[in-house]
Chain A
């Protein structure tokens, strides 16, 4: 049974676990003190406690590392898996886990290559998120009123920018001062971008319509803050169009990918930001002149065209010439046609008028005959009266004058003869005139003459009638005869005087 209890080689009492752990801890810390370890960052975790745990490794070993919460913000580089870093800290143990670990207070990339590799990984991750998409880019305002500049208030950069802005077009500039290198750089730049975007329009601080994030040239590490993920995210999220101008033309930082436009230098950013006012004014002037000229030209061209068209218009005479000629021709034909029509009408009229004319003549002759008969009767009566008056006067003179009577009687007889001759002559002339005038009426005239003879006093006397005269008058009634003592009765062959 004694085998059950190991007999120590010496009499030293056994150590407790904590004693051993404490001894190891002291030994380790004493032996190494502060040291720098180069390795690739392995798995990184940051639980709710705020402490940062990661592993440093090479191809054969792994070293646990931790950054206490309070130290994380001061790190120049937040470890990312796969990055080759140099971590500075002190080695210690974790007694509760039988482990040892490096308490890190500073991390730096292990050379440029490592940094570049890390940058590339970060860039690829952010790009995969879509933060660099072309569709996210906003157009820059053509003529910004207010420009927000995120940069260091000291140094040449802000002066260069302001100088170039002044040269081109005066503008309202708001400077948000930030650290442009060092540990605080990324956080401050990101905060400034967000701060500008948080300005509400119409507030006491004017909201910029363009942002410029600028820094002068420097080493890769100097510019490192502008590769900060927070900066990239702030730039990508900026509602205000943003120009990045970090370092020289060959320096590319991640903010350049997220910016709406990357300027090669801060001065170039100012050139991009505003147009040259004088050029704009000249362009405006030119546009004004061009539009005035275009209007004048438009009017001139129309005037010219109107004049050309007016020239092209045929003269009114020319337009009318053909019509006038046609009219003349028509008038000529009309005249001819009228003549022909009139001739034809005349011919037809003549054909119809021939019988008409005969009838008319006949009517005319009838009327003339009647007039002549009436004239004849009047002449007869007048002659009778004249003869009777002369005879009576003769008788009176014969009775009173005696011797003169014969002569007077002779005169009277001559006068009577002359009257008779005149009467006969008138009759003959009348006859001749009637005959000579209208031969065609001769027959009717003859008939009328016969009728006249029938009706005449001599014919009447021949048929047994007598003319009674008293006191030189023809007595035609008893009343006229009354009181008369002597009557003269004329028969066909002479006169007979009767006394009572």
Chain B
């Protein structure tokens, strides 16, 4: 619960958000805790949103030498 959100993967953040929502919907949480949970959930959602917005297409071709990737070349025409 106290893990820094910045370090969470999208999936982990999403899973935690779902857990938060389930817990809130369960209605078994004390009021104080439910508010803290809500804030955590909102932060998780913002984190996921940011990650989704950051996704952009980029296609590159690997340049390899002796089995090692030495660089990339932008791939066009796809």
Contact = CB atoms under 8 A, between A and B. Distances in A.
A294 B35 CA distance: 11
B52 interface: yes
A280 B52 CA distance: 8
A287 B20 CA distance: 9
B52 A281 contact: yes
A302 B21 contact: no
B10 A143 contact: yes
Given A287-B17, A287-B18, A205 B62 contact: yes
Nearest to B31: A302
Assign chain A's interface to a size class: 35 or more
A288 B67 contact: no
A298 B55 CA distance: 35
Given A295-B24, A298-B24, A194 B61 contact: no
B75 A175 contact: yes
B28 to A, nearest CB: 10
Interface string B21-63: 1001101010100110110011001001101100111111110
A205 B75 contact: no
B59 A141 contact: no
Given A175-B60, A281-B49, A295-B38, 20 more contacts: A141-B9, A142-B14, A143-B10, A153-B61, A171-B57, A174-B60, A176-B62, A176-B69, A205-B71, A280-B48, A283-B14, A284-B17, A284-B49, A290-B21, A291-B37, A292-B38, A295-B34, A298-B29, A299-B31, A302-B31
Given A158-B78, A196-B69, A204-B71, A291 B41 contact: yes
A159 B78 contact: yes
Interface in A145-166: 148, 153, 158-159, 162, 165-166
A176 B58 contact: no
B3 interface: no
Given A169-B55, A295-B24, A205 B29 contact: no
Contacts of A283: 14
Contacts, number: 128
A195 B67 contact: yes
A142 B49 CA distance: 14
6 contacts: A169-B52, A171-B55, A172-B57, A192-B64, A294-B27, A298-B34
A297 B27 contact: yes
B10 to A, nearest CB: 4
Interface string A287-329: 1101110110111011000000000000000000000000000
Interface of A is mostly: helix
B65 to A, nearest CB: 10
A170 interface: yes
Interface of B: 9-11, 14, 17-18, 20-21, 24-25, 27, 29, 31, 34-35, 37-38, 41-42, 45, 48-49, 51-52, 55-62, 64, 67-72, 75, 78
Contact of A170 (B34, B45, B51, B57): B57
A103 B24 CA distance: 76
Contacts of B42: 288, 291
A288 B52 CA distance: 15
Q: Pick from A158, A196, A287 the residue with the most CB of B within 10 Å.
A: A287
Contacts of A299: 31
A112 B34 CA distance: 65
A334 interface: no
A290 B57 contact: no
B16 to A, nearest CB: 11
Nearest to A292: B38
A173 B59 contact: yes
A147 to B, nearest CB: 10
B77 to A, nearest CB: 9
A199 B69 contact: yes
A299 B37 CA distance: 13
Contact of A166 (B51, B52, B57, B61): B57
Contacts of B31: 298-299, 302
Nearest to B65: A195
Given A287-B17, A288-B42, A294 B56 contact: no
A166 B55 CA distance: 11
Contact of A277 (B52, B69, B72): B52
Contacts of A158: 78
A143 B11 contact: yes
A177 interface: yes
A142 B11 contact: yes
Nearest to B54: A145
B54 to A, nearest CB: 9
A416 B3 CA distance: 134
A301 B27 contact: yes
Contact of B35 (A170, A288, A295): A295
3 A-B pairs with the lowest CB-CB distances in the bound complex, closest first: A142-B11, A294-B24, A170-B57
B58 A173 contact: yes
Contacts of A298: 24, 27, 29, 31, 34
